[in-house]
Amino acid sequence: MSSINLQGIGMTSQRTRDRLIERLRSQGISDSKVLDIIRATPRHIFLDEALSHRAYEDSALPIGFQQTLSQPYIVARMTELLLALGPRERVLEVGTGSGYQTAILAQLVDRVFSVERIRPLQEKARQRLRHLKLHNVHLRHADGGMGWPQRGPFDAILSAAAPEVVPQELLDQLAVGGRLVIPVGKQGQQQSLYVYDRHEDGFDEQCIEPVMFVPMVGGVVA
């Protein structure tokens, strides 16, 4: 990882990143902190070199193991929703994947606890996060749908995979006043992004917009 060019050249240059930010603004992303972090974070290092020239397109890209690096708009939208009610200290991420969403969160909240079921993806993400000197991230190799109960409750939870039904385990690990941002629905059918806010007497649910995510799958891959 030591030879990685964090600044990028050509299609990964700062000018290309700036164009992406303008596109995100035009799509309704308005949180300046989120936009600044996305502009500053080198998305190209979270992809294999053969795809790095496409890093600042507003599209999802493959990272292996039938997983994807989420579209920048979705990363920005979910992060903005997560932070909409104020600062968050302890955030659980379900699905580390490439580590890109993890890196964005780590620069905006106090501590990130991220669970990934596919160990080779987790190890690559660990190297990238270390390269970026993001030391407030705790990684766990486990079934993401179960969350990380030993480290809960969490102020916020973000899921990068879509269950058909929201796991009760995730709702249980959300602190009172906390927010869960999660895509829900069957793969290949209509999925929607949902927000759940926990109160003393239960949860408020909001359906935000249509999305397309990889499914939340049980078990682990060594």
Query: What is the Cα–Cα distance from 139 to 142, expressed in whole angstroms?
Result: 9
Query: What is the Cα–Cα distance from 146 to 94, expressed in whole angstroms?
Result: 9
Q: How are beta strands 202-211 and 191-199 bridged, if at all?
A: antiparallel
Residue of 26, 52, 70, 98 with catalytic role: 70
- Specify the amino acid at residue 73: Y
Tell me whether residue 70 is one of the annotated catalytic residues.
yes
Query: What is the Cα–Cα distance from 42 to 16, expressed in whole angstroms?
Result: 11
Helix axes 14-26, 72-83, angle to 10 degrees: 60
Query: What is the Cα–Cα distance from 96 to 169, expressed in whole angstroms?
Result: 18
Instruction: Read off the tokens for 77.
Output: 């939208």
List residues with catalytic annotation: 70
